[in-house]
């Protein structure tokens, strides 16, 4: 029943999708989609699959599979990262019936593909449901949408969050490394007295902010199967927004854009002392601030409740079987192997720095070693704990790219002193509700 | 110069206040300052790119953007050309193929079409020409998605042809060829060729093409640059990165720099290397190009 409603709204969404307006021929009947997942049977004879993503080094893992499975050959294509073009390509290709068999989709975009009816439910494919308990809790929630008997993608990697900090500078200045957000604010003031900043507030990385709300157990979206609830300004979101608004008002955080040259330079010169970020951020720092090698360390995210261990997540992808494939069974087998087998996860970690979404994957030898850049600290242990402590029930909305854009506009205004972060969230919420309504996606008032 | 001298002689207004002597160097100076400012404005980004591509990753963000730090150009080039099995070289080759072959054939088609419109009277000629003129107004980006759906229908997306074939079309080239053919190929000459027993095709290739050469070079350059810079069509059409032109390849790399920061170096050096063919094409054909533009412009 639930899926039936979603599929119907999905068809309506396709008709309204920005670029495809007027080209929609896919008013697919919700009936085939509705009651049960289609049976998933192996194809006869040799099978060729196509797979599109943007993980560097993916070719190596695919080559391993192709060698071991002469009858199921996978061709991998690298595209631009999702929101930079590959998602739009997927939507175009779905429309034309030309989509690849498998596609990389970030967790925050899965609902978008779901409501636009682009995903195949692979729950009935051999081994898929059983694989659920191999994955970190929250990732499995994301790909099943919390529904019985449905699996719409296989989790690939995650971005558990922790705090990178300049261990040397904290020690020199005699400032304690913060463990709670209150202490973090105190440290921010102390660091400002040293002439530096504790961190930057990135105006465009709204998904970073979402990670902080996630840690505080806020919920931006909920879907009861009938309609969506949009709540960017709930109590937890408000608390997080007010907290950072306070730091901004007192001039304790820099307004540099994340990942910019300026930001790299500020990291490199010691102007920024911490960055609460995801596991993949370790690479951003070591690459952008090479002069600070050995000076950084990683601690768990500061907590709202002293002694708690809540963590957020920023980023992470899944591999979905896309509508129109002739070989869902083989595609699902490949996706499972790719994201659970040790040889594949090792190759992906080496080649693309992927942080696995399986619990066993977090024990890879490469993720147990100390990193020279981080003073030989085995930093991944911190992230493994964060992954386990990430709230599983956070849900993304069906139009996140739009939501991010609208909130980012407001964040920019807040940083330049006109408006607040909370107003930005409110504006983002209003815009999101308008967008959902314009796409005939049911929204709860 | 000639314009400036002429206004001098004309005006009692300029002669007043003895402005005659002072104004000439003044307006020259103003002209030079404006030109200089714009030259600088256009060249600074290229200068920045040239400088940035010689820097190591660390110094890229920590040193001043417009001046050199330690010289790492060769390391960077090695990195660029070896990353991911040397795929960059392939992208460069693809771009040259799309833009080079596409521009040559596109120029041929456009010139034949423009020539026919200029030199043969037939029913519906003006209507046809106006429709083609209308095509000039349609941005190529707007056509990418319809083209994608058409190519999907015949199963030709994600092929070399899906980018190559649409690149052959140049309404602006047809327009330019028609104007130029009308102006520079005398009817009497064609008449003489016919009397001497030359067929229409032969006349076109032996006589008319030579007369139209400056226009052809112009069309070629325009078309070359248009295809080289056409980014959206390949983005929509291609999913196999082995078929990417260099613009799309660099874009794909750039979109991954959050996850793989090392790629920034490759993007910057790659962008620098990618403008070299364009510069070469312009410098090599510049002389013809100027002639072509002026002729088209005056007669239009």
CA distances from B50 to A6, B40, B44, B86, B275 (A): 52, 15, 10, 21, 11
Q: Return the pLDDT at B282.
A: 82
Q: How far is CA A259 from CA A202, A212, A266, A273, A283, in A?
A: 9, 18, 11, 15, 12
d(CA B177, CA A170): 70
pLDDT digits (tens, 9 = 90+) for A170-193: 999 999 999 999 999 999 999 999
- Would you list the domain boundaries of chain A? 2-158+313-379, 169-308+394-438
Say how far apart CA A342 and CA A328 lie, in whole Å: 23
Among A230-234, A439-443, B81-85, B162-166, where is mean pLDDT lowest?
B81-85
Q: Is B265 on the interface with A (CB under 8 A)?
A: no
Q: How far apart are the first and last CA of chain A?
A: 22
Higher pLDDT, A328 or B72: A328
CB A232 within 8 A of CB A240: no
* Cβ-nearest to A268 among B61, B255, B258: B61
Is B73 or B102 the better-scoring residue by pLDDT? Answer: B102
Ranges in chain B annotated CATH 1.10.3720.10: 76-299
Is A261–B60 a contact, with Cβ atoms under 8 angstroms apart? Answer: yes
Interval B121-145 mean pLDDT = 91
Q: Copy the structure tokens of residue B248.
A: 């799309």
In this chain, the answer to whether the domains covering A2-158+313-379 and A169-308+394-438 adopt an identical fold is yes
The answer to whether the Cα torsion of B206, B208, B209, B210 is positive or negative is positive
Count chain A–chain B contacts defined by CB atoms under 8 A: 95
pLDDT in tens, B9-46: 444 444 445 444 556 788 889 999 999 999 999 999 99
Average pLDDT over residues B162-190: 92
Contact: A77, B236; criterion CB under 8 Å? no
- ipTM of the modeled complex: 0.76
Residue of B nearest to A260 (CA): B61
Q: Are strands A47-53 and A102-106 parallel, antiparallel or unpaired?
A: parallel
Residue B113 has pLDDT above 90, yes or no: yes
Question: What's the pLDDT at B16?
Answer: 47
Nearest CA distance, B150 vs chain A (angstrom): 9
What are the CB-based long-range contacts (under 8 Å, 24+) for B158-164?
B158/A98, B158/B237, B158/B238, B158/B239, B158/B240, B158/B243, B159/B243, B160/B97, B160/B243, B162/B237, B162/B238, B163/B98, B163/B233, B163/B234, B163/B237, B163/B238, B163/B243, B163/B245, B164/B98, B164/B101, B164/B102
Among B57, B236, B262, select the one facing A89 at the smallest CB separation: B236
CA separation for the pair A392, A155 (Å, rounded):
13
- Restricting to B residues 38-67, those with a Cβ less than 8 Å away from any Cβ of A are 57-58, 60-62
Q: How far away is chain A from the Cα of B58, in angstroms, using its nearest Cα?
A: 6
Write out residues in chain A with pLDDT < 50, as ranges: 1-37
Distance from CA of A363 to the nearest CA of B (A): 22
Q: Determine contact, residues A239/A216, Cβ cutoff 8 Å.
A: yes
Tokens of A159: 């971005």
pLDDT for B291 equals 55
CATH 3.40.640.10 is held by the domain A169-308+394-438: no
Q: What ranges make up the beta strands (E) of A245-380?
A: 274-278, 296-299, 313-321
Q: Is A373 helix (H, G, I), strand (E, B) or coil?
A: helix
Q: How far apart are CA B108 and CA B219, in angstroms?
A: 9
Distance from CA of A302 to the nearest CA of B (A): 24
For residue A226, the model assigns a pLDDT of 85
- Cross-strand bridge partners of residue A297: A165
Write down the architecture of domain B76-299 according to CATH: Orthogonal Bundle (1.10)
- Topology of domain A2-158+313-379 in CATH is D-Maltodextrin-Binding Protein; domain 2 (3.40.190)
Contact A353 B148 (CB under 8 A): no
Cβ distance of B259 and A353 shorter than 8 Å? yes
**DSSP conformational letter for A35:** S
Least confident interval from A46-55, B176-185, B251-260: B251-260
Chain B residue numbers with beta carbons less than 8 Å from the beta carbon of A280 are: 258-259
Q: Are A214 and A391 in contact, with CB atoms under 8 Å apart?
A: yes
């Amino acid at each position: 029943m639930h899926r039936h409603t979603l599929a119907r709204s999905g068809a309506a969404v396709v008709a309204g999708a920005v670029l495809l307006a007027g080209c929609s021929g896919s008013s697919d009947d919700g009936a085939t989609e509705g009651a049960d997942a289609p049976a998933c049977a192996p194809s006869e004879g040799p099978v060729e699959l196509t797979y599109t993503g943007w993980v560097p080094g993916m070719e190596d893992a695919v080559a391993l599979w192709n060698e071991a499975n002469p009858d199921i050959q996978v061709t991998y294509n690298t595209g631009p990262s999702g929101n930079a073009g590959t998602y739009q390509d997927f939507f175009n290709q779905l429309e034309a019936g030309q989509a690849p068999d498998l596609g990389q989709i970030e967790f925050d975009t899965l609902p978008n593909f779901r409501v636009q009816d682009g995903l195949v439910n692979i729950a009935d494919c051999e081994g898929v449901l059983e694989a659920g308990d191999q994955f970190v809790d929250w990732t499995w929630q994301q790909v099943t949408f919390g529904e019985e008997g449905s699996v719409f993608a296989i989790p690939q990697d995650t971005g558990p969050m922790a705090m990178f900090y300049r261990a040397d500078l904290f020690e020199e200045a005699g400032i304690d490394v913060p463990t709670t957000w209150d202490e973090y604010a105190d440290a921010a003031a102390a660091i400002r007295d040293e002439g530096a900043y504790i961190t930057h507030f990135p105006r465009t990385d709204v998904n970073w902010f979402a990670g902080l709300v996630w840690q505080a157990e806020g919920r931006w979206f909920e879907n009861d199967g009938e309609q969506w609830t949009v709540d960017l300004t709930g109590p937890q979101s408000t608390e997080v927004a007010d907290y950072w608004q306070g730091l901004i008002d007192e001039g304790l955080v820099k307004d540099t854009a994340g990942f910019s040259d300026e930001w790299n330079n500020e990291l490199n010169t010691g102007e920024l002392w911490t960055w609460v970020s995801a596991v993949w951020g370790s690479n951003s720092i070591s690459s952008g601030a090479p002069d600070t090698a050995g000076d950084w360390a990683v601690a768990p995210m500061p907590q709202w409740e002293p002694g708690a261990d809540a963590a957020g997540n920023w980023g992470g992808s899944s591999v979905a079987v896309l509508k129109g494939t002739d070989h869902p069974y083989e595609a699902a087998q490949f996706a499972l192997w790719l994201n659970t087998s040790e040889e594949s996860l090792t190759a992906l970690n080496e080649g693309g720095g992927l942080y696995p979404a399986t619990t066993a994957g977090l024990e890879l030898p490469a993720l147990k070693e100390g990193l020279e850049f981080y003073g030989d600290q085995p930093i991944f242990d911190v992230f493994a704990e964060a992954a386990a402590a990430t709230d599983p029930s956070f849900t993304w909305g069906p139009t996140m790219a739009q939501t991010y854009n609208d909130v980012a506009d407001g964040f920019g205004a807040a940083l330049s002193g006109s408006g607040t972060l909370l107003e930005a969230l409110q504006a983002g919420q209003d815009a999101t509700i308008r967008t959902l309504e314009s796409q005939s996606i049911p929204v709860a008032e | 110069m000639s314009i400036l001298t002429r206004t001098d002689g004309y005006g009692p207004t300029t002669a007043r206040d003895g402005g005659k002597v002072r104004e000439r160097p003044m307006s020259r100076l103003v002209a030079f300052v404006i030109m200089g400012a714009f030259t600088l404005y256009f060249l600074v980004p290229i200068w920045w790119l040239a400088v940035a591509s010689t820097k190591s990753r660390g110094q890229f963000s920590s040193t001043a953007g417009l001046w050199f730090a330690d010289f790492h150009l060769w390391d960077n080039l090695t990195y660029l050309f070896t990353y991911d099995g040397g795929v960059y070289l392939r992208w460069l080759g693809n771009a040259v193929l799309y833009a080079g072959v596409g521009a040559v054939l596109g120029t041929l088609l456009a010139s034949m079409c423009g020539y026919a419109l200029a030199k043969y009277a037939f029913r519906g000629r003006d209507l046809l020409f106006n429709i083609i003129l209308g095509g000039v107004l349609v941005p190529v980006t707007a056509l990418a998605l319809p083209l994608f759906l058409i190519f999907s229908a015949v199963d030709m997306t994600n092929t070399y042809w899906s980018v190559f074939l649409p690149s052959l079309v140049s309404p602006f080239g047809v327009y330019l060829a028609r104007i130029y053919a009308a102006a520079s190929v005398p009817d009497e000459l064609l008449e003489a060729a016919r009397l001497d027993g030359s067929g229409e095709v032969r006349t076109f290739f032996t006589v008319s093409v030579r007369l139209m050469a400056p226009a052809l070079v112009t069309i070629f350059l325009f078309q070359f640059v248009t295809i080289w810079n056409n980014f959206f069509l390949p983005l929509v059409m291609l999913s196999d990165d082995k078929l990417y032109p260099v613009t799309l390849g660099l874009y794909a790399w750039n979109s991954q720099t959050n996850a793989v920061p090392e790629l920034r170096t490759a993007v910057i050096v790659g962008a620098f290397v990618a403008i070299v063919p364009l510069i070469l094409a312009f410098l090599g054909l510049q002389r013809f190009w100027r002639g072509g533009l002026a002729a088209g412009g005056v007669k239009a």
